[in-house]
Amino acid sequence: MRVLVFLVAFVAALLAGAVVVASEMGGEVVVVTTSDERGVEFETSLWIVEDVGSQWLRAGNRESAWCRRLLANPVIKMERGGEVATYRAHAEPDATARVNGLMARDYGLADRVVGLLRDDAKSLAIRLEPIDLRPF
């Protein structure tokens, strides 16, 4: 029995490691900064896709901490290609299947590996709307 428990734990650790490696090696990774109710900022590395002139993120689990912060305070910062900009995030559940397809197209094998631990029913598409904060 101990050997079985060890093997299951070992395989789970390997799978988790593969998911982490795949998530960072799959393609373009942006850094999204969300903030909690106290104003404390948190950085999260995420994949991004573009469709119909919009930038999209995907929460693999809408209950994840970064997604809960984003939904509570949708004004975020995102670093992409060395540039930081401010956005208003819009959760769009009806676009989730399309964004999942775009992620699969753009991130290929890495998306399939990460998908081993993702429940598509819990995924959420998030559209980013740029905010211009320059003074007039």
Return per-residue pLDDT of the chain as tens, 136 residues.
Answer: 776 554 444 444 444 443 444 444 558 999 999 999 999 999 999 999 999 899 999 999 999 999 999 999 999 999 999 999 999 999 999 999 999 999 999 999 999 988 887 788 899 999 999 997 666 5
CA nearest neighbour of 102 among 129, 79, 125 = 125
Chain Cα centroid distance, residue 13: 21
Please count the residues of the chain: 136
**Cβ–Cβ < 8 Å for 43, 76:** no
What is the dihedral angle through the alpha carbons of 10, 13, 19, 25, rounded to the nearest 10 degrees? -90
Per-domain residue ranges of the chain: 2-131
What's the distance, Cα to Cα, between the start and end of the chain in Å? 69
**For the whole model, what pTM was predicted?**
0.78
**Cβ–Cβ < 8 Å for 123, 61:** yes
d(CA 125, CA 52): 14
CA nearest neighbour of 64 among 48, 44, 78, 82 = 44
The torsion angles phi and psi of 15, rounded to 5 degrees, stand at -65, -45
* Topology classification of domain 2-131: Pnp Oxidase; Chain A (2.30.110)
CA nearest neighbour of 80 among 56, 115, 107 = 56
d(CA 90, CA 109): 27
